[in-house]
Chain A
Amino acid sequence: MFDSLKDKLQDVFSGLAKRGALSEADVDAALREVRLALLDADVALPVVKSFIAKVRDGAVGSDVLKSVRPDQQVIKLVNDALTEVLGGDAAPLNISTNPPSVILMAGLQGSGKTTTAGKLALRLRSRERKKVMLASLDVTRPAAREQLRLLGEQAEVGVLPEVERETPGQIAKRALQAAKLQAYDVLILDTAGRISIDEALMAELRDIKKLTEPHEILLVADALTGQDAVNTAEAFHNAIGVTGIVLTRLDGDARGGAALSMRHITGCPIKLVGVGEKQDALEDFDPARMAGRILDMGDVVALVEKAAETIEADEAERIAKRMAKGQFDMNDFLAQIRQLQKMGGLGGLMGMLPGIGKMQKQIAAAGIDDSMIKRQEAIILSMTKKERVSVGLLNASRRKRIAAGSGTSVQEVNKVVKQYQDMSRMMKKLGGKSGAAAMKAMMGGGMPGMGGAGGGMPDMEALSKGMGKMPNMPGMPGGLMGGLPKGLPGLGGKPSGKKK
């Protein structure tokens, strides 16, 4: 489904040249596809509608980064909005300082309440060192109480003993009393599953709430849920005022649009997620991960993020032009070093570039590593303005001064100068030769898998063209490579992303 969304978006924007801002038409065209994508991920229709409206308002007129295409930009905006909606008002479990804290579990049949109650008990006992008691108010489903008792034993927490023929209300009262008397920190109340439209059972929940005054009322919901998620969330929230959501079966392959639906309808944070059959398979909710899962376009998003954070496209272009003309000076060198740092250093950058093993070696050979980058920066900053423009000025005494000023040695200063000169020379050569050949010369041959359409540097067109014949390099925005100190300009990449 989602690969096809990506294709569709690319179709939508394929006719567009780079523009300054997203037009209404751009955004609408992209959002029609996003809408279908969200529906296919089981986000409920009313939620999709209001979500799309919100994204649309924010997207129209927003700047398009020069190094990405409009479709990628829209996906990023959608992803950001998703993450924001999913993660807003994040809050940990509210465990009162005045014990016992009461946690009430509610939800539809088969949503995973009892299993989650057991997992939560284990988590609170082992991670937060709380004394926990479990009590089952489920007198409906056969053996539900037996199930909770077994889970309690496995988690090594207290379990309220069963008494025959009690109503859920009576059990709740007895549980609260027992928890107080036996000095439990937390009392977890499991309840019977109920359909959202059963008034009698909803009234029962309200009574239990009144009796026990819970600190947390957790709605346990199945990540496999479809459009009905809104009805469920609404019904439970209206009846008992949910304080948090637990999403179960996130270890399945459902895209989990229900998360967005429920979050949107209740306004309550998703506090925990169930991710497996084992009793410790209960994790904190990660909104960014969930957004990625619902949209399923993480590669595009990561790419735009990197580009947005780190590449000032104009700057990259300016440097590229200067490089080509042989006007590359220490200031440019410094700018490049800084961009590299912003991208998470060499390690971070390399992580984004598959098939770049050989280059890593070259860079290591050149003595560039992350700590090195910081020292290089310090060295350049210790130069005067004049020195930075005309490196030829750097005689022995100036170099000594720079070493002292930057807390490095003369040898290190020499090395920076040497690197700068190598790079500068390379730039001049590149200006003359055809792209691919020059690239080969520079890298000592054999850089697999680089290139692609849409490089962001106009003056490097020859280079881009030459490299366009090579297979796509996944995961690189056009123009990104303008930021590499060792001078790998114009490695335009059509961000094809990884294939699923």
Chain B
Amino acid sequence: MSWFQKLKNGLGKTSAKVTGQLSSLLGRSKIDAASLEEVEDALIAADLGTQSAMRLAASMRKYKFDGPVTSESLAAALSDGITEILEPVAVPIVLRDDARPHVILLVGVNGSGKTTTAGKLAQQWRSEGKSVMLAAGDTFRAAAIEQLQIWGERTGTEVIAGSQGGDAAALAYTAIEKAAAAGTDVLIIDTAGRLQNRAELMDELAKIVRVIRKLDDTAPHDSIIVLDGTVGQNAISQVKAFREVADVTGLIVTKLDGSAKGGIVIALAEEFGIPVHAVGVGEGADDLQAFTARDFANALTGTSD
């Protein structure tokens, strides 16, 4: 099953609604003020947030429909609008040739799916024939190390781990040394989940970044925030805070195989222009897929391709 299919399966139930509830404006040749609010509502229900929803809905007024508006043509129009916003941020992770290892730091709030994403990323590069190492930097959560070790076994990847309660920054340092010594292509460093308003935990993350830079001042080459696809407007505060502390360069959205639409990605693209690298659409090792604007927009609006 393609990820688009999976995404659509997930969004299917609810994305039908995005255009389904707009019946009152169907059959007209353009969108008027009253129906504009309906479009807004539909977008808000997809987690775009009020600001982005209003902007996108308003842009629909200028849209030239061929003939009367149908649910298909409206969905397609919205999909066009969303694609336009997301196209510039749909950027894959590009491994640098000059960095060995290419260091990837995964950050985010608790339960967003960092450890699982670390495993999936390892799988992806392993299958491309790269050498990969994982670093179990979540030294706080019970059994987080074991969880990453199981991913290591599944993907045939070496896992650098310390003990629970250990110093995550020191572990990252060791991991980079080992990966460099072994000539490893990619090192993926998992970190403990932390809420962005917890200053002491964010300080700890800042320290991890500082220590990493002692060994390689260009690292981390990618600092990726992992966002739960069900998250609401708080994602904006998350990205802002993690960007300040860990110089976040991109994001991965997880759990998009559920009923959540992940429309917050659109708000984030508008607010920060931050690259979206990939989406997680399942629990399997291969369920991490490159993010493409049109597929996402189509899935979100229920547009058939």
Contacts and interface: CB of A to CB of B under 8 A. Distances in A.
Interface of A: 36, 39-42, 44-46, 108-112, 115, 118, 140-144, 146-147, 149-151, 154, 195-197, 222, 224-229, 231-232, 235, 249, 251-255, 257-258, 277
A232 B113 contact: no
Contact of A228 (B109, B141, B261): B261
Contacts of B14: 231
Contact of B113 (A110, A231, A251): A110
B143 A42 contact: no
A42 B258 contact: no
Contacts of B81: none
Given A226-B235, A228-B47, 19 more contacts: A39-B50, A40-B50, A45-B41, A110-B113, A115-B141, A140-B283, A142-B154, A146-B147, A147-B147, A195-B10, A222-B111, A222-B228, A224-B232, A226-B47, A227-B260, A228-B258, A228-B260, A232-B259, A255-B233
* Category for how many chain B residues contact A: 35 or more
B230 A253 contact: no
A109 B254 CA distance: 10
A500 to B, nearest CB: 14
The B contact surface, by secondary structure, is: loop
Interface in B130-180: 140-144, 146-147, 149-151, 154, 164
A227 B232 contact: yes
B197 A253 contact: yes
Given A44-B45, A226-B264, A108 B234 contact: no
Interface string B30-65: 000000000001001111011000000000000000
The main secondary structure of chain A at its interface with chain B is loop
A144 B111 CA distance: 13
B233 A42 contact: yes
Interface string B102-131: 000000011111001000000000000000
23 contacts: A39-B49, A42-B233, A42-B234, A44-B45, A45-B44, A108-B230, A109-B111, A112-B110, A115-B110, A115-B141, A141-B283, A143-B146, A143-B147, A150-B142, A195-B257, A197-B9, A225-B231, A226-B231, A232-B258, A253-B195, A253-B237, A254-B232, A258-B232
A235 B45 CA distance: 17
A249 B237 CA distance: 14
A253 B45 contact: no
Interface in B288-303: none
A228 B230 contact: yes
B96 interface: no
A110 B111 contact: yes
| Pairs of residues from A and B, 4 with the lowest C-beta to C-beta distance, nearest first | A226-B232, A110-B111, A42-B232, A147-B143
Contact of B230 (A39, A140, A197, A232): A232
Contacts of B258: 108, 195-197, 228, 231-232
B213 interface: no
A249 B195 contact: yes
Contact of A249 (B46, B110, B259, B283): B110
B13 interface: yes
Contacts of A252: 109, 195-197, 234
A195 B196 CA distance: 25
Interface string B232-243: 111101000000
A36 B109 contact: no
Given A45-B41, A253-B197, A226 B147 contact: no
Interface string B5-32: 0000110011000000000000000000
A253 B234 contact: yes
A477 B12 CA distance: 51
Contacts of A227: 44-47, 232, 260-261, 263
